[in-house]
Structure 1
Amino acid sequence: MTPFKEKLNKELGEPSFFTKELQATILQKSQQLPNKKRQWKYPVVLAMMTAIILFLIVSGPWSTTNPSKVATINETAKTTTVKQFGVAWNWEDGSFKAGRVGWVFDQEEFQQGHETELLERVLRHAELSEKDEQYSPFRDVWLQFENGQIAKLKMQSNDEQLAFIDVNTDLFYKVDDVVAAEFIALFNSFNSNDLHSNLMFIFIMSLFLLRWLVEIVVRKIFNIKQKPKYMSRNHQLVTTIYSIMYGILIIIFIIKGWFLYYGGFLGILIMAVLSSIAIDFYYGREEKRHYVTIASAIASITLFVLFLFFLKM
């Protein structure tokens, strides 16, 4: 027997330096998958960037105006025709609820017909005057001329008399009684905004119900557990930051009145679903939590498109 073999036999025959309990612990730890450290900064940055981008998108088209370059709007109406306009109910002096045709929920819209001709006559028969407190606001009118010029008018009435303020120039006009009575009678014949308000309420309630049903179905199909609510402390922190940011943005939209616009409502909806998908995918993809968010997003956007289609019918 060689000296090397004798030494090897001796080493093998000696008791191990590791106890059986310690060996079992080492083996168990070696078989466990290493926990990946999740960084909370990435989903926060993603959520904030999504919010900023969508905020810039939704605050653009309807806040852009092309103010009149001429002194009076009645002179403009004599040289060009009205292409289209929208009318919204509004009894408040400090707000304007009409907007670009095709962008606003709660307004009547007209394009090149009897109504546009009547509005042209109103503008052409308007005369500059001192502001009269006896007139009270009853309609907002957003209009576009054929030359691309845009005007915003706050229509005011006093019994059968008509006046308006050009928002872009803050000039006050009174209209001849001949066309004033016809204009007031026409727009008083339209239904109030109660129908649109009721439809919006139905849509919001349907949206919450649909998302609840979709979540139940998806969780059952893919066996996705509801608890724990948060996968880690970072998950809870990111969700809290996002919720606060989203709440502030909703308050801004309410103050600015941007929920009147299709783009504003859709923008805030898309921001919510994209941010939720990003957070759920980052922290809960092993548990397939993002499946619930994606399914809810598809259902919500589909319902919104159907709602718009119904309004346009």
Structure 2
Amino acid sequence: MSRISPIARRSLAAAGVLALASLLPTVPAAQAHSAPRLVIDGNFPDPEVVATDGALWAYATNAEPTGDPANPAHNVQTATAPGPEGPWTRQADALPVLGDWARPGLTWAPEVAPRPDGGFVMYYTARDVATERQCVGTAVSDTPAGPFTPVGDGPLVCPADEGGAIDAGSFTDEDGTPYLLYKNDGNAVGVDTWIHLQELTPDGLGFAGERVPLLRQDRPAEGGLIEAPTLVQRAGAYVLFYSAGYYGDGTYHTGYATAPALTGPYTKSDEPLMTSENTGITGPGGQDVIPGADGDWLAFHGVLSEEPLVRGMFVTPLRWDGATPSID
């Protein structure tokens, strides 16, 4: 496959920034010390939010069967809104059919990114029937609404001996090069959990380089794992958000690390960005950054009920002091 030159990539990236700016919803400027707002009062964990055509599309981990024909189980839950604070309206299942390699029922943390052809690619986590591990696959659609169609005969990434792979995240660097982030699900097999970065082919459907480990669990409060990577660039630095702890209770929290270069080294902040204590929300995590015309927002889930486990979607303004994020 031919490679795009660095100059061409920079030109494409600049054009992409201008195009994205025209698509971003105009949202109210962040108010000082505004509390996070619950915008989807129901199960909608691991939210991923994409801006397109002046609206927002959110995607979430699969829903359990409800028995309610008006609210059936979905492989990938979807909702739309004119801006971060809503109102959010639930939509049809974005991925009604999984790849042949995948077993339904454990479809987690979808990630959706635009493709050069104007369509969209979804990276979804599902149970690989061959290895019995969670692995990341791909699907494509012409529109953000879907339905997305699975691509390939197997998962895109599936390091079975490291527990599999979950929680895909996409990132496009300044030169237009696309990357995928993901976590090896090491806590499933008793090994380290690393957040990895790997260059993608321009179409987003394959890898163009070797993976680079960026960050792992190394603090007692992280409960033996870190996951849910979200990478952005601010003030000349790379800022990697992640979640840690047990997702179903108040130990779950959102941290971040910064680096001067894409591949690191990344240095974790002294204190987490969001905890149950500083937000008043149980287990804030599974975050995604929503860029807006008037500033960034953060979408994340919080525990509404532990038994049964229900995690709703919250949003809050995300402020920056250089490359240091804050929510207050």
TM-score range, shorter chain: under 0.3
Structure ID, larger Rg: 1
Structure showing the higher helix proportion among its residues: 1
Please report the TM-score for the alignment, with normalisation by the length of structure 2.
0.25
Please report the TM-score for the alignment, with normalisation by the length of structure 1.
0.26
Structure showing the higher strand proportion among its residues: 2
Larger relative contact order (CA 8 Å, sep ≥ 6): 1
